[in-house]
């Protein structure tokens, strides 16, 4: 919400209070159309060009609340055909009692077998991961 207010203040400085207020009011009166659709409408209505530009940058506080959640994919084409065909690697951080630990995670894309290894220190040299913990999908 704070970010939304900062964004609105930046728009007011850029386009003026009246333009932002008018564009926001039109956006609400028309039932919260997408920025692109509203900008196109304003151009067709021969409003000043800055109104359309302002519309594209406008962040309405109500629109994200009423947007539908993104659909979760329940199935996908397999990326790998057998164990060790393809792996995915990422790094994440664990914070515990004020300490931050960097962890390397490796997942076999076929079996979803996961291996996590804490990264003690980083260097350009390759080295053994040492002791690792593994988990498999349940
Ligand atoms: Zn809206």
Q: What is the DSSP string of 82-93?
A: STTS-EEEEEEE
Using 50, 70 and 90 to split pLDDT, how confident is the model at 86?
very high
Distance 56 CA to ligand 1 centre (A): 12
Q: What distances in angstroms separate CA 5 from CA 1, 8, 61, one per listed residue?
A: 6, 5, 9
Domain end (from 14, 35, 66)? 66
Residue 1: CB atoms within 10 Å: 6
Using 50, 70 and 90 to split pLDDT, how confident is the model at 42?
very high
Q: Out of 13-22, 30-39, 105-114, 115-124, which region has the weakest mean confidence (pLDDT)?
A: 115-124
Entry pTM? 0.48
User: Domain for residue 80, yes or no?
Assistant: no
Whether 11 and 49 share a structural domain: yes
Whether 22 and 58 share a structural domain: yes
What's the mean per-residue pLDDT of the chain?
Answer: 86
User: Domain for residue 78, yes or no?
Assistant: no
User: Domain for residue 95, yes or no?
Assistant: yes
Whether 102 and 48 share a structural domain: no
More confident residue, 34 or 134: 34
Distance 71 CA to ligand 1 centre (A): 21
Structural domain of 130: 87-135
State how far the Cα of 93 lies from the Cα of 107, in Å rounded to an integer.
17
Whether 61 and 98 share a structural domain: no
- pLDDT at position 129 over 80: no
Residue 41: CB atoms within 10 Å: 15
Work out how many domains the chain is built from and give that number: 2
User: Domain for residue 21, yes or no?
Assistant: yes
User: Which residues have C-beta under 5 Å from ligand 1, the single-atom ion?
Assistant: 32, 60, 62-63
Alpha-carbon torsion (68, 74, 77, 83), positive or negative: positive
């Amino acid at each position: 919400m704070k970010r939304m207010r900062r964004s609105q203040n930046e728009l007011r400085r850029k386009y003026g209070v009246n333009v932002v207020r008018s564009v926001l009011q039109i956006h609400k009166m028309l039932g919260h159309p997408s920025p692109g659709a509203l900008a196109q409408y304003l151009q067709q209505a021969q409003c000043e060009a800055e109104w359309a530009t302002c519309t594209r940058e406008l962040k309405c506080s109500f629109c994200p609340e009423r947007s539908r959640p993104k659909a979760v994919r329940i199935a996908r084409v397999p990326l790998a055909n057998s164990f060790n065909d393809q792996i995915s690697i990422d790094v994440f951080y664990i914070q515990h009692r004020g300490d931050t630990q960097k962890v390397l995670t490796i997942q076999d894309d076929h079996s979803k077998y996961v291996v996590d290894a804490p990264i003690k220190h980083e260097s350009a040299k390759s080295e053994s991961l040492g002791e690792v913990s593994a988990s498999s999908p349940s």
